[in-house]
Amino acid sequence: MTKILVIGAHGQLGQSFQYWAPHFPHFKMLFEDLPEFNLLDQDQLERYFQSTSINIVINCAAYTAVDQAEDQPENAHQLNATAIGFLCELSKAYGFKILHFSTDYVFDGSAQTPYGEDDPLSPLGVYGRTKAQGEALMQSAGIDGWIIRTAWLFSPYGKNFVKTIFSLLQNKDEISVVADQTGSPTYALDLAAATLKALEQKPIFIGVKIYHYTNSGHTTWYGLATAIQQQINTPCKIHAVGTADYPTKAKRPKYSVLSCEKIKKEFNLDLQAWESALEDCLKKIG
């Protein structure tokens, strides 16, 4: 039986893997997170892998506070890059494979067609830069693993745009949402299920491969907010605003749609439309 360790088990993606674990009986899945499991404590990690035999590590832990990262670049770098270096060293020592999640923020958003896995990286801010550094560490480490880039993650768990807007729409008379950034929302439950299905099909892989996974279709943050409103039917007025009207510390990519053709073809995956994924998520939140 394949033993899988999921790190970052309390985050929205980690909780999504917990949701699906009973549906994949061929995998024995273990879940760890802070404070008991600290990715930055090399000694603790070493002790863990000495005492527990693991085949695959799925790393869902990341520093994802995009604006805060501009003020705390060292903290972001430690979790998004340094910790990946630690994991790669341990992967070589203890023979486990690594599945690591990255982001659309490694691109600058200047494209007009979906980004492919091999397109050059050009992150705009600290968060994107540190995630790109983590990717580079994995690719140069001489280990076996997958890097799965995703975008605009939402779920019934943790803190995310969909849950925030769901709450605001029920408690405010009007809100403003950015309408000139385009991307593909990704349901964390779909991403976790697709990852486990892909692992079932190809438990043996050599070298580091990069994949993109989002739900199908694309929209703007304003489009996503109005889709939430249509499903929960509140009188709150949503104003479309430009990025310039809503300044943030970190620059966001204007267009960050990811091409998911590679993962679809390689694993014969059917990507759910983001609209129906949103419907499922709102049922679980509501």
DSSP 39-61: TT-HHHHHHHHHHS--SEEEE--
What was the pLDDT predicted at 203? 83
For the chain, domains (ranges, CATH) are 2-159+185-216+257-272 (3.40.50.720)
Beta carbons of 80 and 134 less than 8 angstroms apart: yes
Residues of the chain with pLDDT under 70: none
Catalytic residues: 127
DSSP string, 173-186: SEEEEE-S-EE--E
- Three-state helix/strand/coil letters over 239-279: EEECHHHCCCCCCCCCECCECCHHHHHHHCCCCCEHHHHHH
3-state secondary structure of 217: coil
What was the pLDDT predicted at 280? 97
What was the pLDDT predicted at 205? 87
Encoded amino acid at 126, one letter: V
Residue 268: exposed, middle, or buried by beta-carbon count in 10 A (0-12, 13-18, 19+)?
exposed
**In the chain, what percentage of residues exceed pLDDT 70?**
100
